[in-house]
């Protein structure tokens, strides 16, 4: 604040105003002027507003002092001190609401005037400083957020570029591989090519190395896919025995070559909540390792066990040479190969890393227990699916026919409990008692709930982390985008197709760890 | 362009050469000699495919550039086009569209690619088949034989 503080007097009694002016000038204030009406004060340009206005509460005219002060404070940043008389008790109560910087009750002493004005100006000064500090803080938060966002984008771009490169490279490698394998295959064909036995043997080596290279190329491609976060998990109840048998049959020939016996699970849980393709890939990987690292004539035992916390453990035990604790730590890292373990065994050390990613993608865990000299047990645990697998879907809105349809669709999947609420408010109560794992909400609710209500769902503690899916008859690309922007995980178009509904439910019911916790 | 039948060379890996196709249900639909146009920019692969398909009894024409494919179809009237999707010049997909909209709409087209194609890939839907590199010789020989119509 430079120079003397500027004060405006709004007072309709000329004598009082004159008196005030004189006293203020004595105190060193610069008096901008004396006005008799609120309207005149409001006519002042915002840039011309004083530091303080001394306002008579009880003005004659259209607008009293309180209303004038309220409007002035909206227009600019200035201190307001009201002048009141004892007879103005009702007005004083209203004046409090304007959050004035001071009150002077007429008649007042000179000292009162001085102190009140000084305090009022001091308060205004602090308010201004606080507002500026806040603004600076907000600005810094904005800048910090922006730089974090940029850093994240940068990292994502770099990672995408890396995966893209890996993917391209593995495609490009296929052409020369094709040449190597193709000509080797040509040489291996029986025919009128007079190759000596030694030459044939050499060709076989070329062919074998080419095949090895191809598997590595496929592994790199698989890794690039995992890395881009493109892992598509569609978990659903999966019957254990058939898929275990299928995997065992697939590994059968390799096991037979090494005279390894595969023992299938006896009893145990009958199903698991998993993505069938990923489950198979994981189990096949563990089985193929168990064959590769087993001793000739060894045994592989597959077991399925119910664990605590409604989880199912699938374990593969081999009779290989076992792993030391240091080796166990390194196992699940990419490209880590245990030198001592794999003499003569091909691979790049990606399989277990990939298995870990897949299991985690399905909301499970993977691990190993091993005793050197006796064998190793590799296991993975996934959610179980007995009866209702503890998963509950809450539908909000929709007429009785729509509720019945949804109930039937969910029943066809099995393993789900169905809850229904007419409104978002009722739904919020059910969220507390029913603890749903997923919420479906009709956007076309007759009242204002729809998207506003879902915003409520997403902001409230306890429901924030539950995926909310929108259902709408108006599923245009635009509404879908808007819904996603509004925080819905997905949008279902009416009329509902059961398969689409189950796809979406399975996708979002899976505990799916995401890097930024969205 | 080479042709001939090196007896026995591909016995273990190949489908029956065109000669045996006369015993197929409708022999008139398949002429005695099939011509395969190979469009592949990698010279070694071109040589491999040419060697194998020639040995299997096909008449083989090979080109290496996207721009050569359509003129070559005009000139040689092949029965089958073995088309690399990643050709230089005009890319494989554009060629495929041209073929399907033009004179060669009934041409048997087999795509070759280093990239795993999704089921709903538009290129795949316009083609009669696709081979992922590296391509096994047996698969190669079997895929280029047009199905009798």
pLDDT digits (tens, 9 = 90+) for A205-235: 898 888 888 888 887 777 777 766 667 777 7
For all residues of chain A together, what is the average pLDDT? Answer: 82
| Alpha-carbon dihedral sign for residues A50, A55, A60, A62 | positive
pLDDT of B14 reads: 41
Q: Choose among A175, A179, A190: nearest Cβ to B114.
A: A175
CB contacts < 8 A (A, B): 61
pLDDT band at A434 (very low <50, low <70, confident <90, very high): low
| pLDDT tens for each residue of A140-168 | 999 999 999 999 899 888 888 887 887 78
**How far is residue A158 CA from its own chain's centroid?**
21
Q: Look at A73-82, A109-118, A456-465 and tell me which has the smallest mean pLDDT.
A: A456-465
| pLDDT tens for each residue of A371-410 | 888 899 999 999 887 544 557 888 888 787 888 888 878 7
pLDDT of A345 reads: 54
Question: pTM of the full predicted structure?
Answer: 0.50
Q: Choose among B45, B115, B137: nearest Cβ to A185.
A: B137
Q: Look at A450-464, A476-490, B76-90 and tell me which has the smallest mean pLDDT.
A: A450-464
| Percentage of chain A lying above the pLDDT 70 cut | 86
pLDDT band at B46 (very low <50, low <70, confident <90, very high): very high
Q: Look at B7-11, B37-41, B120-124 and tell me which has the smallest mean pLDDT.
A: B7-11
pLDDT of A241 reads: 87
pLDDT of A268 reads: 84
For all residues of chain B together, what is the average pLDDT? Answer: 78
Kindly give, in sequence order, each residue whose CB lies less than 8 Å from that of residue A61, ignoring residues fewer than 6 positions away: A12, A36, A37, A38, A39
Predicted confidence (pLDDT) at residue A259 exceeds the cutoff of 70: yes
Q: Choose among B10, B11, B135: nearest Cβ to A178.
A: B135
> By the 8 A CB rule, do A440 and A410 touch?
no
| pLDDT tens for each residue of A312-363 | 999 999 998 888 888 888 888 776 655 545 555 555 567 888 888 889 888 8
Report d(CA A178, CA B42) in Å as an integer: 10
The reply to whether residue A181 touches residue B132, judged by beta carbons under 8 angstroms, is: no
More confident residue, B103 or A270: A270
| Alpha-carbon dihedral sign for residues A303, A308, A312, A318 | negative
pLDDT of A10 reads: 92
CB count in 10 Å sphere of residue A499 = 10
More confident residue, A337 or A278: A278
pLDDT of A262 reads: 93
pLDDT band at B149 (very low <50, low <70, confident <90, very high): very low
| pLDDT tens for each residue of A9-42 | 998 888 888 889 999 999 999 998 898 888 888 8
pLDDT band at B51 (very low <50, low <70, confident <90, very high): very high
Residues of B in contact with A214 (CB under 8 A): 134
For A214, name the nearest residue in chain B, comparing CA atoms only: B134
> By the 8 A CB rule, do A412 and A498 touch?
yes
For B115, name the nearest residue in chain A, comparing CA atoms only: A171
Across the range B15-38, mean pLDDT stands at 53
| Percentage of chain A lying above the pLDDT 90 cut | 23
pLDDT of A378 reads: 94
More confident residue, A261 or A430: A261
**Rounded to a whole number, what is the distance in Å from the CA of A178 to chain B's nearest CA?**
4
pLDDT of A455 reads: 64
Report d(CA B108, CA A355) in Å as an integer: 40
More confident residue, A2 or A237: A237
Our CA dihedral for A474, A477, A483, A485, rounded to 10 degrees, sits at -160
ipTM computed for the complex: 0.72
The reply to whether residue B9 touches residue A192, judged by beta carbons under 8 angstroms, is: yes
pLDDT of B39 reads: 96
The per-residue DSSP string of A72-94 comes to: HHHHS--EEEEEE-GGGHHHHHH
The per-residue DSSP string of A374-437 comes to: TEEEEEEEEEB-SSS-SEEEEEES--HHHHHHHHHHHHHH-SEEEEEESSHHHHHHHHHHH--S
Token duo for residue A292:
């590769």
Residues of B in contact with A182 (CB under 8 A): 45, 48, 52, 134-135, 137
pLDDT of A116 reads: 92
**Rounded to a whole number, what is the distance in Å from the CA of B83 to chain A's nearest CA?**
14
pLDDT of B17 reads: 40
For B55, name the nearest residue in chain A, comparing CA atoms only: A186
**Rounded to a whole number, what is the distance in Å from the CA of A340 to chain B's nearest CA?**
32
For B112, name the nearest residue in chain A, comparing CA atoms only: A175
């Amino acid at each position: 604040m430079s120079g003397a503080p500027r004060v405006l007097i709004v007072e309709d009694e000329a004598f009082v105003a004159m008196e005030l002016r004189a006293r203020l000038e004595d105190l060193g204030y610069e008096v901008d002027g004396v006005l008799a009406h609120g309207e005149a004060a409001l006519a002042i340009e915002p840039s011309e507003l004083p530091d303080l206005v001394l306002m008579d509460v009880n003005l004659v005219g259209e607008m009293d002092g309180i209303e004038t002060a309220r409007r002035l404070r909206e227009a600019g940043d200035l201190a307001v001190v009201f002048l009141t008389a004892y007879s103005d008790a009702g007005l004083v109560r209203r004046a409090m609401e304007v959050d004035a910087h001071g009150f002077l009750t007429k008649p007042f002493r000179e000292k009162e005037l001085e102190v009140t004005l000084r305090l009022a100006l001091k308060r205004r000064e602090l308010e201004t400083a606080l507002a500026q500090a806040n603004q600076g803080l907000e600005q810094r938060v904005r800048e910090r957020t922006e730089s974090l966002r940029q850093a994240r984008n940068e990292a994502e771009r770099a990672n995408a570029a890396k995966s893209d490169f890996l993917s391209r490279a593995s495609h490009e490698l296929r052409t020369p591989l094709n040449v190597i394998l193709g000509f080797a295959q040509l040489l291996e064909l029986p025919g009128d090519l007079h190759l000596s036995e030694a030459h044939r043997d050499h060709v076989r080596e070329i062919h074998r190395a080419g095949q090895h290279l191809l598997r590595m190329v496929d592994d790199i491609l698989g890794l690039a896919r995992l890395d881009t976060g493109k892992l598509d998990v569609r978990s659903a109840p999966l019957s254990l025995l058939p898929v275990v048998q299928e995997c065992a049959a697939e590994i059968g020939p390799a096991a037979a070559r090494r005279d390894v016996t595969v023992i299938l699970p006896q009893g145990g849980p009958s199903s698991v909540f998993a993505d069938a393709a990923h489950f198979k890939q994981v189990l096949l990987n563990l089985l193929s390792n168990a064959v590769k690292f087993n001793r000739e004539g060894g045994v592989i035992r597959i077991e399925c066990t119910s664990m605590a916390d409604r989880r199912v453990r699938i374990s593969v035990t081999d009779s290989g040479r076992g792993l030391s604790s240091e080796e166990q730590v390194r196992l699940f890292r990419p490209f880590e190969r245990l030198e001592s373990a794999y003499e003569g065994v091909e691979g790049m050390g990606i399989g277990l890393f990939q298995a870990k990613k897949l299991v985690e993608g399905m909301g499970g865990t993977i691990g190993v227990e091993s005793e050197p000299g006796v064998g190793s047990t590799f296991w993975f645990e996934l959610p179980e699916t007995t009866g209702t697998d503890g998963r509950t879907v809450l539908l909000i809105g929709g007429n009785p026919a729509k509720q019945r349809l949804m109930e039937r669709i969910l029943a066809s999947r099995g393993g789900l409990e169905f809850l229904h609420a007419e409104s978002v408010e009722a739904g919020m109560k059910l969220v507390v008692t029913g603890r749903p794992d997923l919420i479906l909400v009709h956007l076309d609710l007759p009242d204002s709930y729809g998207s506003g209500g879902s915003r409520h769902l997403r902001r409230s503690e306890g429901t924030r982390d539950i995926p909310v899916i929108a259902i709408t008859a108006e599923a245009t690309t635009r509404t879908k985008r808007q819904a996603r922007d509004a925080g819905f995980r997905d949008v279902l178009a009416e009329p509902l197709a059961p398969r689409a509904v189950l796809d979406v439910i399975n996708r979002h019911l899976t505990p799916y760890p995401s890097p930024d916790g969205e | 362009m080479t042709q001939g039948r090196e007896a026995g060379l591909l016995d273990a890996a190949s489908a029956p050469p065109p000669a045996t196709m006369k015993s197929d249900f409708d022999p008139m639909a398949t002429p005695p000699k099939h011509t395969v146009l190979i469009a592949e920019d990698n010279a070694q692969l071109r040589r491999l495919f040419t060697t194998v398909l020639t040995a299997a009894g096909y008449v083989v024409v090979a080109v290496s550039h996207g721009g050569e494919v359509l003129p070559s179809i005009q000139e040689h009237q092949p029965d089958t086009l073995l088309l690399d999707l990643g050709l230089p010049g005009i890319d494989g997909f554009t060629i495929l569209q041209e073929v399907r909209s033009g004179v060669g709409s009934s041409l048997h087209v087999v795509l070759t690619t280093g990239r795993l194609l999704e089921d709903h890939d538009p290129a795949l839907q316009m083609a009669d088949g696709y081979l992922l590199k590296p391509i096994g010789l047996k698969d190669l020989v079997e895929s280029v034989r047009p199905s009798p119509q």
